[in-house]
Amino acid sequence: MPIELHDGCVKQLIKLVEQALVETTCSYNAIIDYPQPEVWSALDKVLPADKSRQLEGYINHAPVATFLKSVFQRDLNDWAKYDGDARNVPLTSLYGGDVSELAVSYVTELRAMPVRCVFTYTLPKSIAQYLDPKEVINISDGVVVTFGTDDVVKTFPMDAVGGSALSSLLGFSSRMDSETCYLQIFIDGFVDRYTPTAASMGASALCRSILGLGSAHRAWRVGPEWMGEKFSSPGFVHALSGNEWKYVSQVSLDRTVARAIERLQFDFLDGHIANADQARSWLATNLKAIALILRTKKNELILRGSQWYFDSFASENVLDAYIRATVAVEIMLGEEDGQDGIGLTTMLANRCAYLISNNHDERENFLDDFREIYKLRSKIVHTGFDRLMQREQDMLYKLQWICLRIIQKESKLLVS
């Protein structure tokens, strides 16, 4: 359903978009030179506050300006060929058509938000080998695990990857692979190949939450840095146009996150899973558990905690990994100030101990460990402590284990 704006607002918006078009130049016939900031800030001031917030949920902050910068760059690539000598070329001279009509078309496209998008993330063969290539697994409404079957390839074409020669040069795959497994996340919003948007950031966060849940439930684990395969592509983004999916771009992931996904390995539970049949059964069981969590109300905290838990393994810096793991703990146990004279560390320690300990002695030992863990966190955050010795690195592993146990326990409580 289109964004509802009153006629006066629409007319003013069209006028400002036309002004932005006229004042925008480009270099090399390929890169937008943005006009003065006043032009962009005026665009977003036109919208009523509630409509601006609505569009921010689809696009990003300053949604009108962000949207226009994206579509200007997108369409410039269709209007002109690269010219290494071109400087300060008016954008409208390359368009060559009626600028007023173009401004109307952009406002119409903006008001048609949101667009249905799908982010397709490549999963490693170490996990795919224990899934049925012919089966499509519906994890939840909008989350699917599938292989690149003929039907999937036909539904999500790759005919606009940017040229097979360029794709080959960059080492990117120009199509989905029938032997490769993909995690697909469908989301409403706006996608752009050049700029992160609310939709792309939301899809990335959910992807990491799912991978964090799987890691905590020991369906898979992030292997060491030297381990893992190298994907030909981290994945693809498509947007729905009419009744057809159109290719937009490669998925954009932080390099360390992309590498962590490549390093995912099936978790054989320290040898307790002895053969392929057991592995398939264990993976299917955990995917059902993840599906149940995703379909359960009030799952926000466990999803965000799982995301930060996964990010702690993705980080290449152990100090950063340590802080991310403590954030995961605080998300899931509560981060408000201590109450009734109880300090924050003591409050978190007690909550955690009662949640994951099995007896009194285990609880007391755990409380001591937790205090040591948070002493180190304080040193990192408040004094700039810049390296971990072996004993302190062992505390990181203990902390990540605590995250794992919290996620497991909270998962059971959530779906019980």
Q: Show which of 52, 78, 111 is a domain's final residue.
A: 111
Q: Which domain holds residue 98?
A: 7-111
- Pair 259, 401 in one domain: no
Digit-coded pLDDT (tens) for 131-148? 999 999 999 999 999 999
Please check whether residues 212 and 330 belong to one and the same domain.
Answer: no
Q: What kind and span of H or E run contains 123?
A: strand 115-123
Q: How many CA atoms lie within 13 A of 17 on its CB side?
A: 28
Q: CA–CA separation, 184 vs 116, rounded Å?
A: 13
CA distance 68 to 64: 6
pLDDT tens column, 238-252: 999 999 999 999 898
Say yes or no: 205 and 338 in one domain: no
Task: Supply the pLDDT for residue 212.
Answer: 98
Shared-domain flag, residues 43 and 98: yes
On average, the pLDDT of the chain sits at 89
Domain boundary among 256, 271, 293: 293
Structure tokens at 162: 């940017």
Nearest by Cα to 284 from 153, 145, 386 = 145
> Which tokens hold the place of 197?
């948007």
Would you say residue 406 has pLDDT above 50?
Answer: yes
- The reported pLDDT for the residue numbered 384 is 80
> Is residue 32 in a domain?
yes
Instruction: Count the domains in the chain.
Output: 3
Which residues make Cβ contacts (< 8 Å) with residue 327, sequence separation at least 6?
Answer: 308
pLDDT band for position 162 (cuts 50, 70, 90): very low
In a domain? residue 121:
yes
Domain identity same for 232 and 324: no
**Residues 50 and 155 grouped into a single domain:** no
- In this structure, are residues 32 and 13 in contact, taking their beta carbons and an 8 Å threshold? no
Decide: 357 and 366 in contact? Cβ < 8 Å.
Answer: yes
Cis peptide before 224 (omega within 30 of 0): no
Let me know whether 229 and 286 are in one domain: yes
**Angstrom distance (rounded) from CA 171 to CA 132:** 27
Same domain, 159 and 80: no
- Cα–Cα distance measured from residue 279 to residue 89, given in angstroms and rounded to the nearest whole number: 60
For residues 156 and 100, state if they share a domain.
no
For residue 166, the model assigns a pLDDT of 42
User: pLDDT higher for 390 or 57?
Assistant: 57
Of the residues 51, 78, 111, which one is the last residue of a structural domain?
111
pLDDT at 337 over 60: no
Please answer whether residues 188 and 128 qualify as being in contact, where contact means their C-beta atoms are separated by less than 8 angstroms.
no
230, 334: one domain: no
Residue of higher predicted confidence among 28 and 225 = 28
Within 8 A by CB and 6+ apart from 24, the residues are 32, 33, 34, 35, 72, 90, 91, 92
Q: How far apart are CA 63 and CA 76, in angstroms?
A: 20
Question: Which band of pLDDT confidence, cut at 50, 70 and 90, is reported for residue 259?
Answer: very high
Asked if residue 277 lies in contact with residue 285, where contact means CB atoms within 8 angstroms, the answer is: no
**Domain membership flag for residue 14:** yes
Q: Which residues contact 280 (CB under 8 A, 6 or more apart)?
A: 130, 131
Q: Degrees (nearest 5) of the Cα angle 178, 180, 186?
A: 95
- Supply the pLDDT for residue 169: 44
My answer on whether 171 and 317 are in the same domain is no
Q: Element (H or E) spanning 186, and its range?
A: strand 181-189
Q: Rounded distance, CA 308 to CA 209, Å?
A: 8
Q: What is the pLDDT of residues 82-122, one digit of tens each?
A: 999 999 999 999 998 999 999 999 999 999 999 999 999 99
Give the global pTM: 0.91
In a domain, residue 2? The reply is no
Measured between alpha carbons, how far is 397 from 277 in angstroms, rounded to an integer?
30
Check residue 159 and give its pLDDT: 65
Q: What whole-number distance in Å separates Cα of residue 328 and Cα of residue 308?
A: 5
Q: Are residues 251 and 315 in the same domain?
A: no
pLDDT by residue (tens digit) across 186-227? 999 999 888 889 999 999 999 999 999 999 999 999 998 888
